Amino acid sequence: MIRILDAGPQTTVQDGGRLGQLRYGIPPSGPVDRFAFVLANRLVGNPDGAAALECTLVGPRFEVEAACAVAVTGADMPLSVNGKDAPRWATLALKVGDVVKLGHARSGVRGYIAFAGGLDVPLVMGSRATYLRGRLGGVEGRALRKDDRLRLAPAAAPRPRRVERRALPDYGGEPTLRVVLGPQADRFTKEGLGALLGSSYEVLPQSDRMGARLRGPRIAHTRGHDIISDGIAVGSIQVPGDGQPIVLLVDRQSTGGYTKVATVCSFDIARIGQARPGQAVRFRAVTVDEAHRLLREWDASLEGVMREESA
Amino acid sequence: MPQVMPRNRAVIDTLPARGARPPVTYRYAGDRFLLLEYGDMVLDLTMNFRIFGLNDALKRSGVDGLIETVPALRSMLIQYDSLRLPTRRLVDTLKQLEETIASVDDLNIPSRRIELPMAFEDRWTRADIERYVKFTRKDAPNVINGHNIEYIARYNGLRDPEEVIHYLCATEWWNACIGFWPGLPFMFPLDPRFAIVTPKYNPTRPWTPEGAVGIGGPCVAIYPVASPGGYQLFGRTIPIFDLQQRNPAFKDNPILLKAADRVQWVRVTDEALEAIREQVYAGTYRYKIVGYESLNVKSYLKFLESVKPEVAAFQRRQAEAVKQVAIP
């Protein structure tokens, strides 16, 4: 059991996602940054999709009511246990009464906290992930609050490990996101596509788990921005009439009637999800074959990055 | 750094029209999704029927690496495991399936008929429409006598709200797809003689009661939960989404309506609706669902042909009416 002392602005329970429900209008939810989420779970010996916490810009403070192991990954939020600095991207053994605190993110947006055994909240339509807009999953479909208590599923103590420094992501700078053009790239002018691929776009504070809203040079349409609604892939770059792009993320609506110029590759969703308001991003078009090669590399990048802690 | 623009920007492949089969376009949607489209960017229910035929054939094909499909009006989004199922092989499989599925005329689509009680011009939607006028737009032209239904009448050249209600109840409503919100159906009239249309709210309405029913363009939607919305409201029905699964209708899935269901409105009073809603949550109300009949597309197309003159006459009446009406 853990008890939330201070929840932070938006801390939710997420798991591998609510898959196979998009045809009923229900998005997958799950972590925005799958890389950090999966490694947090592996550090505590969990399956990749076990339920853990995702926090946003500022982390929570919580008290441990039974000994357990945790791992904190993702955004660079200063981590302390009982007021003393503790390492991130590493297995931590906690005892009863320990108070864990994650501070303001210095870079990145979303932090992850995995607990050995995983968080034991009810399954809703096959998943524990919180879908805030639909008010379902997680803890009563909402973000955590002070005094929420979360049960952990029983688990053996994991052997302590850490992620190697070389594998740690850098959330700063101006990331270049790889995109595959389409589905409706043919509804944009040459100048519009040139703007998308040749300029930088600033992340706006209105961004959330549904979509990252961006501002930059107008991505102009050839003949209107309305289409007959179709299904929306994660990473779709939707461009409404104002020519400003929205990258749709894990809590996106399942269908929509705006043109979509390109799709951010699945392996770069984490990088747009970790870009802070005010930070700039760029887009680079790749062919679908190149995208699949990069996807294979990304899959491999999760392997062989953890080392046993020396005693 | 200058970039080389890939020559083929959006389209992976196409299949030209042949006989009764519409042209097919296969589009890129990132490294794990593909979008398939039938015909042109126009509303045509026969394209929707063919989507159901294809979806069914794709599921039966047992192609390895398929994750999920999202059928929409004339398109289908396909999520696939691209490391196991190369894009080219998926497209080739889809093209082959086009040769095997029956032409639209020969399709029989399994479809349930669901009768839903509806309180037209009810007091709950009225309350949220009045709130909209008070707090959002005082001069909203789409609100007349505190509701949208009179506006729907004027926009379509119908006499009064009673005639709107008659039109809405005179046809079954085809649920072409679910989308945008958990369990939200996008429904179209199967009888085009009663195809009313409306523009949407401007700006959108911050409040809509759960179970409210409205129309935007030619499409009717039921709001599964209380939410903002942009459709012109005409009434309220019973719950179509219940995560707490308080009624046997939600036992297997908290979402009541599935794609290819047909909905028939049955007029009730506000008081009757309120009583039924209580029975829904008490678990004693039985949703009126006629399980799988099938929609025979051939006889449906024959029916469409037979009503063409009447449809054209109504469209002329609508075109005249629109000239007299302010757009929100």
Q: Which two tokens stand for residue B66?
A: 């398929």
Q: What percent of chain A has pLDDT over 90?
A: 95
CB atoms A288 and B255 under 8 Å: no
User: Does residue B177 have a pLDDT over 60?
Assistant: yes
- The answer to whether A73 and A89 are in contact (CB under 8 A) is yes
In this predicted structure, what is the pLDDT of residue B308? 96
Q: Which two tokens stand for residue A294?
A: 């990069």
CATH code 3.30.1360.40 region(s) in chain B: 11-100
In this predicted structure, what is the pLDDT of residue B1? 39
Look up the CATH architecture of domain B11-100. 2-Layer Sandwich (3.30)
CB atoms B83 and A292 under 8 Å: yes
* Any B CB within 8 A of A132 CB: no
CATH code 2.40.100.10 region(s) in chain B: 110-322
Contacts of B74 in chain A (CB under 8 A): 228, 230
Q: How confident is the model at residue B42 (pLDDT cuts 50, 70, 90)?
A: confident
How far CA A264 is from CA of A122, A130, B188, in Å, comes to 32, 23, 33
Opening angle at CA B187, ends B182 and B193, nearest 5: 170
Task: Give the residue from A257, A273, A140, A123 showing the smallest Cα distance to A210.
Answer: A273
β-bridge mates for residue B111, sequence order: B293
Task: Please give, rounded to a whole number of angstroms, the shortest distance from the CA of A198 to a CA of chain B.
Answer: 8
- The C-alpha atoms of residue B161 and residue B155 are separated, in whole angstroms, by 11
Q: Give the residue on A whose Cα is nearest the Cα of B35.
A: A183
First to last CA, chain A: 28
Contacts of A182 in chain B (CB under 8 A): 9-11, 27-29, 35
What is the average pLDDT value for chain A, to the nearest integer? 96
Q: Look at the domain B110-322 and name its fold.
A: Cyclophilin (2.40.100)
In this predicted structure, what is the pLDDT of residue A310? 66
- The C-alpha atoms of residue B98 and residue B104 are separated, in whole angstroms, by 11
What are phi and psi for residue B12, nearest 5 degrees? -80, -45
Helix-helix angle B87-100:B45-61, to 10 degrees = 110
Q: Which two tokens stand for residue B289?
A: 């669902």
* Any B CB within 8 A of A256 CB: yes
Residue A179, classed as helix, strand or coil, is strand
- The C-alpha atoms of residue A285 and residue A287 are separated, in whole angstroms, by 7
Q: Which two tokens stand for residue A85?
A: 């600095």
Q: Give the residue on A whose Cα is nearest the Cα of B82.
A: A292
In chain A, what is the greatest distance between 2 CA atoms, to the nearest angstrom? 65
How far CA A62 is from CA of A25, A78, A94, A110, B28, in Å, comes to 34, 14, 12, 17, 44
Taking only the tens place, the pLDDT of each residue in A44-85 is 999 999 999 999 999 999 999 999 999 999 999 999 999 999
Q: Which of B11, B31, B73 sits opposite A229 (nearest CB)?
A: B73
β-bridge mates for residue B13, sequence order: B26
Q: Which of B30, B43, B77 sits opposite A230 (nearest CB)?
A: B77
CB atoms B28 and A288 under 8 Å: yes
Q: Which of A180, A186, A296 sits opposite B83 (nearest CB)?
A: A296
In this predicted structure, what is the pLDDT of residue B20? 79
In this predicted structure, what is the pLDDT of residue A120? 98
> Which of residues 169 through 188 in chain A touch B, CB cutoff 8 A?
179-186
- The answer to whether B202 and B191 are in contact (CB under 8 A) is no
Mean predicted confidence (pLDDT) in B21-44? 93
> Which of residues 268 through 297 in chain A touch B, CB cutoff 8 A?
284-285, 287-288, 291-292, 294-296
Give A280's contacts (C-beta < 8 A, 6+ positions apart).
A174, A200, A201, A202, A203
- The answer to whether B157 and B320 are in contact (CB under 8 A) is yes
Token pair 């998943």 is found at A127
CB atoms A233 and B32 under 8 Å: yes
CB atoms A186 and B11 under 8 Å: yes
- The C-alpha atoms of residue B280 and residue B249 are separated, in whole angstroms, by 9
* Any B CB within 8 A of A155 CB: no
Q: Which of B6, B177, B179 sits opposite A181 (nearest CB)?
A: B6
- The C-alpha atoms of residue B254 and residue B245 are separated, in whole angstroms, by 6
User: Does residue B5 have a pLDDT over 70?
Assistant: no
Taking only the tens place, the pLDDT of each residue in A75-110 is 999 999 999 999 999 999 999 999 999 999 999 999
In this predicted structure, what is the pLDDT of residue B91? 97
User: Does residue B135 have a pLDDT over 60?
Assistant: yes
CB atoms B28 and A234 under 8 Å: no
Sheet of A12-14, strand order: A12-14, A52-56, A110-115, A68-74, A91-94
- The answer to whether B262 and B111 are in contact (CB under 8 A) is yes
Taking only the tens place, the pLDDT of each residue in B247-281 is 999 999 999 999 999 999 999 999 999 999 999 99
- H or E segment to which residue A23 belongs: none
One-letter amino acid of B43: L
Substitution target from B8, B9, B54, B178 for chain A, most A beta carbons within 10 A: B9
> Which of residues 16 through 55 in chain A touch B, CB cutoff 8 A?
19-20, 22-26
Substitution target from B8, B31, B54 for chain A, most A beta carbons within 10 A: B31
In this predicted structure, what is the pLDDT of residue B7? 46
Domains in chain A: ranges and CATH: 2-163 (no CATH), 176-301 (2.40.100.10)
Taking only the tens place, the pLDDT of each residue in B73-108 is 999 999 999 999 999 999 999 999 998 887 777 888
Higher pLDDT, B317 or A225: B317
Q: Give the residue on A whose Cα is nearest the Cα of B6.
A: A287
- The C-alpha atoms of residue B287 and residue B30 are separated, in whole angstroms, by 41
In this predicted structure, what is the pLDDT of residue B8? 55
In this predicted structure, what is the pLDDT of residue B4? 43
Q: Which two tokens stand for residue B290?
A: 């006629």
What is the average pLDDT value for chain B, to the nearest integer? 93
- pTM given for the model: 0.93
